[in-house]
Structure 1
Amino acid sequence: MATDLDDPLDNPPIGILDAPFDSALSERYLVYAMSTITARSLPDVRDGLKPVHRRLLWAMRLLKLDPASGYKKCARVVGDVIGKYHPHGDQSVYDAMVRLAQTFALRYPLVDGQGNFGNIDGDNAAAYRYTEARLTQVAIDLMAGLDEDAVDYRPTYNGEEQEPELFPGLFPNLLANGASGIAVGMATSIPPHNAAELIDAAVMLIDRPDADDAAILEHVTGPDFPTGGIVVDSPAAIAESYATGRGGFRVRARYTIEREKGGGWQAVVTEIPYGVQKGKLIEAIAALINDKKFPILADVRDESDAEIRIVLEPRARTVDPATLMDGLFRLTDLETRVPLNLNVLDHQRTPRVMSLREALSAWVDHQFVVLRRRSQHRLDKIADRIELLDGYIIAFLNLDRVIEIIRTEDEPKPVMMAEFGLTDRQAEAILNMRLRSLRRLEEMELRRERDTLDKEQAELTALLASEAKQRTRLKRDLRKIGERYGRETALGARRTTIEEAAPARDIPLEAMIEREPVTVIVSQRGWIRAMKGHVDLASTEAMKFREGDGARFAFHAQTTDKLIVATESGRFYTLGADKLPGGRGFGEPLSLMIDLDGGGAIVSVARSGGADAKLLVAASDGRGFVVREGDVLAETRKGKQVVSPRAGAKLKVVRRVGPGDDYVAASGDNRKLCVFPLSEVAEMARGQGVQLQRFREGGLADARTFRFADGLSWAMGGEAGRTRTEADMSPWRAARGAAGRTPPTGFPRNNRFD
């Protein structure tokens, strides 16, 4: 007997399994994962359906909701599905049913819905108590053969009903309608295709089972989305995606340009990419306008009714339509990427990624199996009927004796079987015949039916015995059903165009911003503003500042220009001229727009001359170099460290290198001028540079580039704005790094060139 001192772990109760936690967890998780993969998330390659979709269609078929019948409430269908076949949540089942009915979600809808089944704006469907549905002809084609032993059946989850393991029909549903799903550790994403193209490719595969991927692409040109649009990938990219089963397709909206009187125009979008909700798309475009992130677009309007019509109005009629649309393709879902991951369950219910050719071949192989099973089932039915017909004919040939046996014998069945050599089924059928069937004409009809069945039996026997006949029969059946989905029909006509196009261009700043002249003014205290137009820089009325402040920099620019700000620490910043505060007030401090902490005083604020323009930069110790403006442009508020002055030095000079300039003039605080070739100055992206001029005392006052043949000019000062030019600079010419000599007579006392 156990006592209280016994250790329960030494005698575990019944039902407790002592096993390592990691192995027990991995085994159970694997079971869960496989259940999710095979019984919920991945479609079967043979009918393209997940279990929930298959059970929905099967339940609707049993409810006799064919296209010719009336509609029934969706609540009735959902109730049957979750009660008999699919014990999951009613909302998830209804959501699956809604998608089967949405013309913008499925290329070939399988459910014909009546009521609110949602819309392309993203609005949800009404509750299932308000909506009704029935099957479409596509669903009937997909289920054709269920009554002819074409597929296996299995018990439902509670064992009370039977359900088909898959559908046998000739409609290529997997690729025609596509599929998407997320399992455990894997996912599937298959875009819809054109059924007529798929059927043509399948017919080709019947004749050429070893055809390569290129042969398939002669028929299947690319996806065919229910919402239309344009696939802009190259043929090589499409072929690569289909050959590997992984990839994607760039899909753009379809639009037209409507011209107006006076030169105005507007872009009208008539088809949007697959899977994009129109309402959210318009909200995203409107947000670009409100946030001023796409200034060349003025307005977006939704004028859609039954057809999509999104009107895009440019800011000005001078805006290039291609530039406007390229910008929207890059910034919104007017261009999206539809993924391809052809991950499906094969005929052994094993998940794997197939190529387009493999998926089509697997479907064709399934159709051969269905053809043979349906033929054998028909042969069995014919054999049963012939057996009965033979009994009926014997009865008619011996009608009087049969009647006599029935009248005189207590058990006529064994007597007839013994006397006429009848089987049990034949004797039972004769005894169950109606008296009206005993007319003489019936014998002729029986013999005619017998001959017809003999002929059909011979054809089916020959069909099952010959693979060539099976291929011919399947091609004929495919072509027949292909007529219903032909390219000339409303349902089968291709909706998506395949047109190769380059990726949407990066929109230049000049195209994004309306070009307007402005005058940039920077005060001595670092306040900046932009006045509209090119005002007179000498006008005291325009140059208004706070008390104790004054002008430091002033120049003309355009709203499309970038401004380069340099500080004593050698850090450079970039500002957009269109982002500057207006000129009515005193502006705003530069420190609010860029992080000037620790950067020191501002040395220069100038308009950028372009990425390829060059700047001469130099520190107060006389070291400097040439740098491309593209290397000083900064993307963030923190700027970019370009010049690294030595201890005790600071950035002193930032000047643009003029076109044709071939010499550098450097002036020191010690009133020495040195001139040397520009080619002796290193071109760098960042650093300290080389010694431009040496000083015994003081430092660099100024430096600039010039054309040696034109001489050196400098400002004379005063209100007249006169300049003086020294034509011959040979006396001051020296090697880079020299101390220099006294400048020409009249050189400014501040030793600067302006």
Structure 2
Amino acid sequence: MTKSPDHPDTPPMTTSEPLRRAIGDRYLTYALSTIMHRALPDARDGLKPVHRRILYAMRELKLSPTGGFRKSAKISGDVMGNYHPHGDSAIYDAMARLAQDFNVRYPLVDGQGNFGNIDGDNPAASRYTEARLTAIAEKLMEGLTENAVDYRPNYDGTLEEPVVMPAAFPHLLANGSTGIAVGMATNIPPHNLHELIDACQAMIKDPEIADDALVGLIPGPDFPTGGVIVEPRGNILDAYRTGRGSFRLRAKWEVEDLGRGQWQIVVTEIPYQVQKSKLIEKLAELIHTKKIPIFGDVRDESAEDLRMIIEPKTRTVDPDMLMGMLFKNSDLEIRFSLNMNTLIDGRTPKVCSLKEVLRAFLDHRRNVLQRRSQHRMDKIDHRLEVLAGFITAFLNLDRVIDIIRYDADPKRALMAQDWSLTPPRAMTEKDYAPPVPGKGSLTEIQTEAILNMRLRSLRKLEEMELIAERDALMLERAGLVDLLADPHLQWKRIGADLKDVQKTFGKTWAKGARRTMFAEAGEVEEVPYEAMIEREPITVICSKMGWIRAMKGHVSLDTEAKFKDGDEGRFLFHAETTDRIILVGSNGRFYTILGANLPGGRGMGEPVRLMVDLPNEAEIIDLMIHHAGIKLLVASSEGDGFICPADEVVAQTRAGKQVQSLRGDAKTLVVKPVTGDHVAVVGENRKVLVFALDELPEMAKGKGVRLQKYKDGGMSDATTFTLSEGLSWKDPAGRTRNQTELDEWRAKRATAGRMAPRGFPRDNKFN
């Protein structure tokens, strides 16, 4: 809505468009900006705009590798004010990452001060740190003054910045890149520069080289933190061929003998981008939760080199099995995803193969070589023009001096003179080269050079030097003409340049050797949790309020245990550390606790609700040892039930496993092992029903079927027994009574039943 400036009193003009199109156009603009100018690197130099601007600003500040350092605040301020109008903290973070040798394989910034560490600590504030360029960063910008690349205006049009760096080596793959754009992302691991240049040389010799041949030269990423890649070669080849895949990366470790049969594991390299402090926290959590019982302790002994100590629970543990379990349960093994999404021509995002990325770099290098060669030839032509003027002046020195000395406008007079008609002094004709073919006049450039010439240059030796320089430049120019005309010579020159980079920063360089090694996965067989626990006898004690503990050894079940005030004992039985203890909740969920994970017998123990996610409103119905292969009778207060295999009630998480489905106020009331061929049920109305066990279905979970019919109330208890042996219970006096004649109470399932026999317990419980 706008008003006309010529007629401010007129109603404002309005424009309208569909909301969908308006939002779509604006979001598309934002998405393109994020993709091209923020998140995705350029395949030619491997840099994002912020990194390119940081390096260029540092170059403009003359922060060479052999020069002094400057405050990081000054650098980030110049980048923000001149080229990158974003937050200074974002700029400083990007610059700091370029200096971190644990994040970048070949650091481009040489930092002085605290630039963070592998533990995950942040760099110091920019006012405390200093930086300068590294030698390899200069290789990225080599040729900027020789018209090697295009420039564009900066954000406010007052300065110019390079569109792309000349990049003397394949930086995109050497240092990798990661970024999240709108609707797309990139994740490229770092590689070894020596291997990358070998692959480039192979592509120069054979542009149609096969992918497997390239992977033979570049077997995989080379992470700055080392580690061991255990990905099969076939998967690596597919990843490089398609541009998408992943690499399994493990920590590097070794067994250190401590003598007397004792040993410990020393981790010397951890996976890329894993923070050591968080890794140790995760390992400590595994110890606390006893998820890996054979894992004893972990500690950090790192100084300048990484040294993480892992101790086993006992010396009889197999080191390979222990590390295999740790690989599966911690970041000692990670999967690094490969997604080579990059701006292949500076504008178009594309997921590229390894060959396509190297081809983009080599084509860029050829373009840079042609532009630098043309720039050098233009400089030579300019210098040859000046040299021709100097030589003309030396051949006619007396005449030139006279004109400069006596003429009112020496520049006009020098340019008007036809020097081809002026007899030269004491020089042969072959030494004379007219400045312009077919003409004997001087150009304006030549005239200015002659007028600016110093008197000390007017000597015979200078004439000889000018002629020698002219001859050398003519020879160089001929070579450049041949180079620009012959693609074969161009690729030969590119190969020679790459060889020079490889000689300086290849495997013979202190930091150039491959750090990440390769190995077979060495999969460890799945070990049952119980197999990792020492088998020891325990006595499980659980109070009425749900405080549980385990005393070592099989204590007499008549032993009097201590409980908190107002609490009393409820469950007491013998078990072993390898046993699974099943806790049955009134909510129909079954929870599993390993005997080895129970708190010790000292004190009152711990609330069982801290060990499993049993709701506060749910009661503990039963606590029993899991026995594989048996079957359980599961029944609710409403009189519904079924037979459930004991193996189906084992839960793998704290949340437990829902076995019986309940409705309304119903609760799980009975869970007992099946022993016999008949079921006996008693209701709150004291009516007893006996029916055959095979009338109940066997289910893994569900509501079950009706056991007994009630008009009022619900079920009190249920049990299973062998009909030929009779049904037994304890009378009020504590004596066991057995009822063998049960025809009076036998009927079909879901019937009402008959009143209980004389002497049946008042609490309506069978035992």
Normalised to the residue count of structure 1, the TM-score between the two structures is: 0.78
How big is the shift at 1:363? 0.8
In structure 1, the residue corresponding to 2:217 is in which secondary structure? coil
1:341-360 alignment to 2 at 5 Å? Answer: 341-360=339-358
- Residue ranges of structure 1 left out of the alignment (5+ in a row): 1-7, 658-663, 691-698, 706-711, 718-736, 738-748
Where does residue 108 of structure 1 map in the other structure?
106
How big is the shift at 1:366? 0.6
2:572 aligned with 1:558: no
AA of the residue aligned to 2:592: T
Where does residue 517 of structure 2 map in the other structure?
497
In structure 1, the residue corresponding to 2:260 is in which secondary structure? helix
The answer to whether the 8 Å contact 1:150/1:374 transfers is yes
Where does residue 368 of structure 1 map in the other structure?
366
1:158-307 alignment to 2 at 5 Å? Answer: 158-307=156-305
1:73-84 alignment to 2 at 5 Å? Answer: 73-84=71-82
In structure 1, the residue corresponding to 2:86 is in which secondary structure? coil
1:699-710 alignment to 2 at 5 Å? Answer: 702=720
AA of the residue aligned to 1:98: A
CA distance in 2 between counterparts of 1:504 and 1:536 reads 41
The answer to whether the 8 Å contact 2:626/2:646 transfers is no
CA distance in 2 between counterparts of 1:554 and 1:637 reads 24
Alignment deviations for residues 192-214 of structure 1 (CA, whole Å, 9 cap, x no partner): 11111111111112222223432
CA distance in 2 between counterparts of 1:595 and 1:90 reads 50
The answer to whether the 8 Å contact 2:264/2:310 transfers is yes
CA distance in 1 between counterparts of 2:97 and 2:356 reads 27
How big is the shift at 1:280? 2.7
**Higher mean C-alpha deviation, range 277-286 or range 49-58:** 277-286
2:31 to 25, 30, 33: 33
1:402-413 alignment to 2 at 5 Å? Answer: 402-410=400-408, 411-413=413-415
**Higher mean C-alpha deviation, range 589-598 or range 125-134:** 589-598
CA distance in 2 between counterparts of 1:597 and 1:53 reads 56
- Residue ranges of structure 2 left out of the alignment (5+ in a row): 1-7, 422-433, 435-439, 682-689, 706-716, 731-747, 749-759, 762-766
Where does residue 338 of structure 1 map in the other structure?
336
The answer to whether the 8 Å contact 1:303/1:309 transfers is yes
Quickly say closer, same or farther: Cα 1:259–1:668, change in 2 above 3 A: same
State the superposition RMSD in angstroms.
4.7
Normalised to the residue count of structure 2, the TM-score between the two structures is: 0.77
Quickly say closer, same or farther: Cα 1:524–1:656, change in 2 above 3 A: farther
The answer to whether the 8 Å contact 1:152/1:165 transfers is yes
CA distance in 1 between counterparts of 2:618 and 2:301 reads 53
The answer to whether the 8 Å contact 2:80/2:88 transfers is yes
Quickly say closer, same or farther: Cα 1:194–1:21, change in 2 above 3 A: same
The answer to whether the 8 Å contact 2:658/2:701 transfers is no
Quickly say closer, same or farther: Cα 1:382–1:653, change in 2 above 3 A: closer
CA distance in 1 between counterparts of 2:566 and 2:125 reads 72
Alignment deviations for residues 581-610 of structure 1 (CA, whole Å, 9 cap, x no partner): 6556887898996859999996x8653344
1:81-160 alignment to 2 at 5 Å? Answer: 81-160=79-158
1:414 to 416, 421, 428: 416
CA distance in 2 between counterparts of 1:343 and 1:160 reads 33
AA of the residue aligned to 2:341: N
The answer to whether the 8 Å contact 1:323/1:511 transfers is no
CA distance in 1 between counterparts of 2:588 and 2:33 reads 64
In structure 2, the residue corresponding to 1:103 is in which secondary structure? coil
How big is the shift at 1:138? 0.7
The answer to whether the 8 Å contact 2:415/2:442 transfers is no
How big is the shift at 1:305? 1.4
Where does residue 320 of structure 2 map in the other structure?
322
Where does residue 12 of structure 1 map in the other structure?
12
How big is the shift at 1:140? 0.7
The answer to whether the 8 Å contact 2:271/2:331 transfers is yes
The answer to whether the 8 Å contact 1:416/1:427 transfers is no
CA distance in 2 between counterparts of 1:452 and 1:499 reads 56
Quickly say closer, same or farther: Cα 1:182–1:551, change in 2 above 3 A: closer
2:596 aligned with 1:575: no
In structure 1, the residue corresponding to 2:246 is in which secondary structure? strand
The answer to whether the 8 Å contact 1:405/1:415 transfers is no
How big is the shift at 1:417? 5.5
CA distance in 2 between counterparts of 1:532 and 1:265 reads 28
CA distance in 2 between counterparts of 1:298 and 1:521 reads 26
2:313 aligned with 1:308: no
1:513-592 alignment to 2 at 5 Å? Answer: 513-520=533-540, 530-535=550-555, 540-541=558-559, 556-564=574-582, 573-580=591-598, 582=600
AA of the residue aligned to 1:386: L
**Higher mean C-alpha deviation, range 237-246 or range 458-467:** 237-246
The answer to whether the 8 Å contact 2:632/2:674 transfers is yes
How big is the shift at 1:414? 1.8
Quickly say closer, same or farther: Cα 1:635–1:9, change in 2 above 3 A: farther
The answer to whether the 8 Å contact 1:517/1:556 transfers is yes
2:64 aligned with 1:66: yes
AA of the residue aligned to 2:580: K
2:466 to 446, 452, 468: 446
The answer to whether the 8 Å contact 2:627/2:646 transfers is no
How big is the shift at 1:502? 5.4
Identical-residue share of aligned pairs (%): 51
2:484 aligned with 1:486: no
CA distance in 2 between counterparts of 1:386 and 1:585 reads 98
CA distance in 1 between counterparts of 2:615 and 2:167 reads 72
The answer to whether the 8 Å contact 1:101/1:109 transfers is yes
2:530 aligned with 1:510: yes
How big is the shift at 1:150? 0.7
The answer to whether the 8 Å contact 2:226/2:272 transfers is yes
Alignment deviations for residues 725-745 of structure 1 (CA, whole Å, 9 cap, x no partner): xxxxxxxxxxxx9xxxxxxxx
How big is the shift at 1:473? 1.5
Alignment deviations for residues 397-433 of structure 1 (CA, whole Å, 9 cap, x no partner): 3434444444454433321557461431233333333
How big is the shift at 1:317? 2.5
The answer to whether the 8 Å contact 2:228/2:252 transfers is yes
CA distance in 1 between counterparts of 2:608 and 2:379 reads 92
In structure 1, the residue corresponding to 2:393 is in which secondary structure? helix
In structure 1, the residue corresponding to 2:337 is in which secondary structure? strand
CA distance in 1 between counterparts of 2:291 and 2:620 reads 32
Where does residue 442 of structure 2 map in the other structure?
423
How big is the shift at 1:217? 0.9
CA distance in 2 between counterparts of 1:618 and 1:220 reads 62
How big is the shift at 1:560? 2.0
In structure 2, the residue corresponding to 1:12 is in which secondary structure? coil
How big is the shift at 1:384? 1.8
AA of the residue aligned to 1:559: T
In structure 2, the residue corresponding to 1:317 is in which secondary structure? coil
CA distance in 2 between counterparts of 1:523 and 1:426 reads 107
In structure 2, the residue corresponding to 1:484 is in which secondary structure? helix
The answer to whether the 8 Å contact 1:252/1:335 transfers is yes
How big is the shift at 1:451? 2.5
How big is the shift at 1:84? 1.8
CA distance in 2 between counterparts of 1:392 and 1:590 reads 100
Where does residue 742 of structure 1 map in the other structure?
none
How big is the shift at 1:464? 1.2
The answer to whether the 8 Å contact 2:416/2:441 transfers is no
CA distance in 1 between counterparts of 2:620 and 2:459 reads 120
Where does residue 694 of structure 1 map in the other structure?
none
CA distance in 2 between counterparts of 1:616 and 1:339 reads 47
The answer to whether the 8 Å contact 1:47/1:167 transfers is yes
How big is the shift at 1:493? 0.6
How big is the shift at 1:64? 1.6
Alignment deviations for residues 276-322 of structure 1 (CA, whole Å, 9 cap, x no partner): 22223333333444455555444332221111112223333233333
